[in-house]
Amino acid sequence: MARLPRISPSGIPVHLIQRGNNRQVCFGALEDYIAYTGWLKEYAKKYSVAIHAWVLMTNHIHILCTPLEDGAISKMMQSIGRRYVQYFNRQYKRSGTLWEGRYKSCLIEAENYLISVYRYIELNPVRANMVTDPGEYKWSSYQINALGKLSELCTPHAEYLKLGLSEVERMENYRALCAYHVEDNLLDEIRVGVNTGMAIGHDRFKDDIEQLTGRRVKPNKAGRPVGWRKKKIQD
The per-residue DSSP string of 77-120 comes to HHHHHHHHHHHHHHHTT--S--BSSS-EEEEB-HHHHHHHHHHH
Helices within 96-235 (DSSP H only)? 110-122, 124-127, 142-145, 158-161, 167-178, 184-196, 203-213, 228-234
Task: List residues bridging with 106 in a β-sheet.
Answer: 15
Q: Which of 74, 58, 92 is nearest to 6 (CA)?
A: 74
Count CB atoms within 10 A of the CB of residue 119: 25
The per-residue DSSP string of 71-85 comes to THHHHHHHHHHHHHH
At the topology level of CATH, where does 14-221 sit?
A: Alpha-Beta Plaits (3.30.70)
Question: What is the CB-side half-sphere exposure of residue 57 using CA atoms within 13 A?
Answer: 23
pTM recorded for the entire structure: 0.90
pLDDT in tens, 111-122: 999 999 999 999
Domain residue limits, the chain: 14-221
pLDDT in tens, 78-101: 999 999 999 999 999 999 999 998
pLDDT in tens, 34-44: 999 999 999 99
